[in-house]
């Protein structure tokens, strides 16, 4: 019950006729969904056994993953009206993977101008069909298929859920008859209302869902009306006529599925076959990489290839006081090179760092800019405008020619037309956005803090010395930071406030007082901090009491700076490395009293990157940044001398981390690419570059990924001013 705070009401994420679903936090595996069956329902035990029986052994990408169950019965003794009674206290719990985007019904709306785009809707329809096909192959009939029982993960992959009234047919069984039919009216097939169930009963429910996704309501749709409705939506031209045929086919399938005669309804295999045939005709079979790029745009309703966020900045302004910074992110989701320029309108003086020149952006990249109002001789107006000009060019060479040709025009008046003419002559395209800036007096507002951009957050850490290392907590909204001054701090990245701070190292230490690496050990409520003398400090923390205590301390590497710490995803193991040439990598087991259980050969230049592979937990990745090129190698923890290279980065990479989604596994590295310091996201299977993240004028030198959520934390610095901040990114939206 600890993982649900004793089934606290604030953890409820859903409820149904006989169960309540809670959000559970596990020490090792992040977030789960815990389904608690009602103790008062007479049908409880039957429902529970039926659902467990249906779920055991079911494994498919489009069926919610069953993690385990708990069944417990206790007899209590009570007196009632003088009589002794023995009522039973039953606990029936089911544990599932957590679906952050909720259920499909939240995204069905009869207003076609809002909701999911067609690409996403089509993928969801295909995914539901594939999940249902798997269930029918397993002889499982769901019996309550509806949008509320279709859950969506963070990449919008649909998962069929809630098997409380499902049935598993025997080998040769094709029909079931009951005198007590259950299901949801509107989604139940006509024959099911009379107690007759077949696999075609689920097909009827599927048809209703498809029609609702197409039209926002139930009924028998007209194909042309549906096409006319979807024409009002933003449909990509690159698809040509494919989307028309996709919608047309889905309407036909939906209408066939809701035929009152079950014998006339298609089988799920036939439905999938028709969808696959059409996709082959139009060449719509997608690679994992293209799919990943698309699902990242769908999250939060983002579909623009060139995106400016936010479109309004709010600056608190008080006389004779410096203004706070606001941040705008410019995202290039195309495969083309882009030049971007922000031009302030008259009326508000902006900081000189904004500049007037074009800034280049590589394909699939995000550039974040800090914008601050300059000093005002008089009070600024309440609103101002900035024009964001984004120019797409066919190649890097064309972009270079454009930037060189407009160099002399940037300081001229009425130069916009001349710049646009140059762009067109070189085959470029222009994208314009108007960025609104508003000012307000904080004294007039009771709420002093205003978050300017919810998608991207910057946490200033200027009260301490430079941040050397960070880590993200797997269950709480915390970032752990290690500082040069010997302090370790914990920050809440939602509130952007410091939770607590603790000085790890005594001031009179012989080897310097800096913390070089930090790592949460969440399941023990510990963190580990490595220092410049090769010592590892293991600390227990209590956030409520603001208390930290060193529970263990050991010297992992003699007189060598700890360059990397890596915690094993499932075992009581911590790995350490140092910066010295060929110094060994060591594996420590805290379950055995922090003994060193294994050593691995080091690398020339020392090991600067060390992280376990979350999908193949018997392997870890390490690298040295002794040269301008970084070669990433993989070790097997069971074989100390076996290693192979996965790819080379043509730059020095100070840090590395992994994150996963339903489709792919990604590696994120920080390093210098050209003149800009970036976080680079790569597909670990193909080595393909997926996206780059950068903050204008700042360097990214450390990063950490959340193990289960699309959260990427980076440490950024302005070396000119010696200022450090922690920056949070969304790995779905790339901003």
Instruction: Provide the annotated binding site for ATP.
Output: 35
Joined together, the tokens standing for residue 35 give 């389904």
CA nearest to 69, candidates 38, 29, 39, 34: 34
CA atoms within 13 A on the CB side of 510: 6
| Residue whose structure tokens are 């209703």 | 208
| Residue whose structure tokens are 């498809």 | 210
CB 253 within 8 A of CB 270: no
Distance between CA atoms of residues 65 and 516, nearest Å: 39
Q: Which helix (H) or strand (E) holds 126?
A: helix 118-137
| Residue whose structure tokens are 């314009």 | 432
Distance between CA atoms of residues 680 and 709, nearest Å: 18
CB 535 within 8 A of CB 516: no
CA nearest to 165, candidates 114, 201, 191: 201
Q: Which helix (H) or strand (E) holds 713?
A: strand 711-718
Joined together, the tokens standing for residue 88 give 């039973």
CB 376 within 8 A of CB 337: no
Length of the chain: 735
Q: State in Å, rounded, how far the first CA of the chain is from the last one.
A: 36
CB 610 within 8 A of CB 573: no
690-716 burial string, b = 16+ CB within 10 Å, else e?
A: bbbbbbbbbbbbbbbbbbbbbbbbbbb
Count of helix runs (H) and strand runs (E) in the chain: 10, 45
Among 2, 111, 133, 144, the active-site one is 144
Query: Is the peptide bond prior to 120 cis by the omega test (within 30 degrees of 0)?
Result: no
For residue 409, give the DSSP letter. Answer: G
CA nearest to 61, candidates 145, 154, 128: 128
Q: Verify whether residue 144 is a known catalytic residue.
A: yes
SS3 of 556, please? Answer: coil
Joined together, the tokens standing for residue 547 give 């208390």
Q: Which residues pair with 71 in a beta bridge?
A: 92
CB 144 within 8 A of CB 166: yes
Distance between CA atoms of residues 207 and 254, nearest Å: 4
608-641 burial string, b = 16+ CB within 10 Å, else e?
A: bbbbbbbeeeeebbbbbbbeeebbbbbbebeeee
Please report, to the nearest 10 degrees, the dihedral formed by the alpha carbons of residues 315, 318, 322, 325 taken in order. Answer: -10
Joined together, the tokens standing for residue 267 give 């089988």
For 15, other C-beta atoms within 10 Å of its C-beta total: 13
CB 695 within 8 A of CB 415: no
Phi, psi of 426 (to 5 degrees): -100, 10
CB 156 within 8 A of CB 124: yes
E-assigned strands of 447-546?
457-460, 467-472, 478-483, 487-492, 497-503, 515-521, 526-531, 535-542
Distance between CA atoms of residues 530 and 556, nearest Å: 9
Joined together, the tokens standing for residue 721 give 């001013």
For 644, other C-beta atoms within 10 Å of its C-beta total: 9
By annotation, the residues acting in catalysis are 144
């Amino acid at each position: 019950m600890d993982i649900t705070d004793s089934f606290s009401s604030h953890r409820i994420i859903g409820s149904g006729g006989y169960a309540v679903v809670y959000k559970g936090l596990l020490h090792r595996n992040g977030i789960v969904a815990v389904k608690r069956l009602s103790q008062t329902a007479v049908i409880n035990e039957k429902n529970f056994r039926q659902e467990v029986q249906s779920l055991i052994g079911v494994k498919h990408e489009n069926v919610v993953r069953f993690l385990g169950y708990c069944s417990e019965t206790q007899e209590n003794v009570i007196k009632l009206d003088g009589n002794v009674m023995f009522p039973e206290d039953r606990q029936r719990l089911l544990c599932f993977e957590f679906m952050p985007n909720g259920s499909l019904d939240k995204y069905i709306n009869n207003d076609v101008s809002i909701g999911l785009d067609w690409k996403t809707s089509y993928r969801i329809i295909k995914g539901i069909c594939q999940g249902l096909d798997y269930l029918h192959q397993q002889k499982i009939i769901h019996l309550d298929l509806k949008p509320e029982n279709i859950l969506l993960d963070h990449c919008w992959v649909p998962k069929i859920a809630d098997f409380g009234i499902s049935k598993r047919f025997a080998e040769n069984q094709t029909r079931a008859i009951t005198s007590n039919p259950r299901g949801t009216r509107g989604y139940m097939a006509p024959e099911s209302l009379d107690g007759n169930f077949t696999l075609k009963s689920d097909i009827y429910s599927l048809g209703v869902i498809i029609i609702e996704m197409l039209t926002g309501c139930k009924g028998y749709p007209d194909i042309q009306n549906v096409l006319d409705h979807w024409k009002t939506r933003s449909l990509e031209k690159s698809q040509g006529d494919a989307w028309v045929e996709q919608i047309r086919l889905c309407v036909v399938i939906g209408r066939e599925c809701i035929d009152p005669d079950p014998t006339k309804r298609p089988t799920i295999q036939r439905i999938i076959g028709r969808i696959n045939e059409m996709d082959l005709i139009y060449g719509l079979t997608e690679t994992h990489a293209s799919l990943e790029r698309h699902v990242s745009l769908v999250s939060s309703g983002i579909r623009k290839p060139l995106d400016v966020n936010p479109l309004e900045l709010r600056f608190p302004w008080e006389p004779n006081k410096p203004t706070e910074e606001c941040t705008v992110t410019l995202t290039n989701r195309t495969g083309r090179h882009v030049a971007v320029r922000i031009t302030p309108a008259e009326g508000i003086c902006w900081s000189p760092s904004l500049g007037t020149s074009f800034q280049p952006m590589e394909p699939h990249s995000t550039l974040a800019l800090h914008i601050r109002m300059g000093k005002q001789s008089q009070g600024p107006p309440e609103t101002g405008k900035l024009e964001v000009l984004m120019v797409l060019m066919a190649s890097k060479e064309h972009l270079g020619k454009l930037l060189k040709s407009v160099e002399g025009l940037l300081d001229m008046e009425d130069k916009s037309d001349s710049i646009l003419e140059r762009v067109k002559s070189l085959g470029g395209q222009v994208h314009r956005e108007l960025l609104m800036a508003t000012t307000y007096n904080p004294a007039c507002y009771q709420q002093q803090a205003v978050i300017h951009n919810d998608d991207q957050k910057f946490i200033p850490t200027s009260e301490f010395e430079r941040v050397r290392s960070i880590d993200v907590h797997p269950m709480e909204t915390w970032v752990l930071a290690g500082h040069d001054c010997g302090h370790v701090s914990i920050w809440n990245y939602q509130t952007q406030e410091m939770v607590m701070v603790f000085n790890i190292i005594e001031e009179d230490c012989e080897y310097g007082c800096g913390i070089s690496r930090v790592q949460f050990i969440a399941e023990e409520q510990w963190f580990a901090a490595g220092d410049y003398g090769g010592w590892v400090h293991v600390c227990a923390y209590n956030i409520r009491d603001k208390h930290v205590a060193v529970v263990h301390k050991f010297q992992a590497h003699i007189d060598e700076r700890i360059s990397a710490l890596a915690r094993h995803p499932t075992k009581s193991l911590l790995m350490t490395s140092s910066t010295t040439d060929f110094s060994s990598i060591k594996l420590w087991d805290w379950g055995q009293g922090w003994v060193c259980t294994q050593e691995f050969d080091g690398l020339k230049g020392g090991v600067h990157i060390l992280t376990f592979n979350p999908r193949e937990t018997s392997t870890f990745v390490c690298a040295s940044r002794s040269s301008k090129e970084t070669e990433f190698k993989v070790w097997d923890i069971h074989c100390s001398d076996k290693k192979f290279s996965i790819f080379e980065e043509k730059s020095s990479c100070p840090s590395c981390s992994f994150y996963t989604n339903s489709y792919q596994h990604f590696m994120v590295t920080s390093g210098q690419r050209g003149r800009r310091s970036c976080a680079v996201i790569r597909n670990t299977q193909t080595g393909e570059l997926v996206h780059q993240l950068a903050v204008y004028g700042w360097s990214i030198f450390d990063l950490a990924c959340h193990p289960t959520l699309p959260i990427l934390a980076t440490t950024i610095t302005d070396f000119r001013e010696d200022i450090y901040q922690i920056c949070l990114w969304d790995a779905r939206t790339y901003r």
